[in-house]
Structure 1
Amino acid sequence: MQLLCTLTSPFARKVRMFAIEKGLGDVLHVVTANPLEDPAALLRVNPLAKIPALITAEGEPLYDSRVICAFLDSLAPAPRLIPDAGKQRWIVLRREALADGLMDAAVAIVFERRRPAPEQSTEWLDRWLAKIERALVAMEEEHRSDALVAARLDGIACAAALGYLAFRLPEIDWTATHPALANWWADVAQRPAVTQTAAP
């Protein structure tokens, strides 16, 4: 299987961590593709030119990160990283959506800051930052009420989000205001799935 992505994408990192935790790290071949250049190889797989995009062993294209993770989880009965049914399934999927939304806002900030300073929108930068701050509050509350599981989709998605903040937006000092989340991240950051997928 081929995963088209950049090594700095938090969504691609989520998929790569998921594959490792699932025991599929060795069969997922990473192919770097810059979506901003609309490479033909990526457009053949995903007409939206977004990453990550997966080419399955049968040659079928899959995107985005949520779909790819669900597909990877279906390839083997164990370990199950996404609950099949019941209340826990919806908790896990809600937490994934929360982490994905945080990453969306963080990526938007990163790209906006790359524009010439006079063209940057302070209003949108503030809106995206506010989304990140609200997501962190919710993530802390979620973790306190029912702990995130590092080797499950919710923990993997949240780890990808927190890792991206540390990588691209270190000025957001969330560890000082969200101690339970900070303690969890300190432990999770040492897992092989996290260390092996760190941005170069």
Structure 2
Amino acid sequence: MAAESGARRPHTGRRRNPAVRQAVLDAAADLLASADGPAISVDAIARRAGVSKHTIYRWWPSKGAVLLEAMVEQARREAAVPDTGVLSADLEGFLTVTFAAVERNGPLLRTAMAESLRDDDAAEGLRAFAAARRAELHGLLERGRSRGELPEDADLGLMVDQMYGLLWYRLLIGHAPLNAETAARLARSLPGGRPAE
């Protein structure tokens, strides 16, 4: 029970079987997409994946760590970074696929955020996930700046914060949608987001 509430468990160091790892992550993502995330247990993930609870704890230190890794897998599959050679198109494309993935995986992301508040492993995973996504978006903006589509003194970190700030605010508060129209409007509102006339 302590492990479910965020207590850290040691790893045995054994190498993960890739098929079993994927089954566990798919099970976690499926359960989160169809249920109330915080109510999901390691037992439920294990049953859905067809593995023992011991197998999960051998490779992940907590439920939160499993959920975060499932989230990272979903993001890699669903929200790739475009490189069209035009910043406005790249921004809109990136935000469109990112917002669509968030709309599909809202319960997973909200649960990951909740887990990160009570589980150190989940918090570390969420920070790593956010840092990786921020670096991808920062790289997209840096490419635009190197092509002269943004001023040399543009604050790329602040631009990244604006984009992800809107995403997390709307995801957590739920007052407005994260859809293709929102992605296009946000992209156009940023420096370099509107094609030169």
User: Is TM more than 0.5 here?
Assistant: no
Larger strand proportion, structure 1 or 2?
1
More helix per residue: 2
Under TM normalisation by the shorter chain, which class is it? 0.3 to 0.5
TM-score by length of 1: 0.32
Give the TM-score taking structure 2 as reference length.
0.33
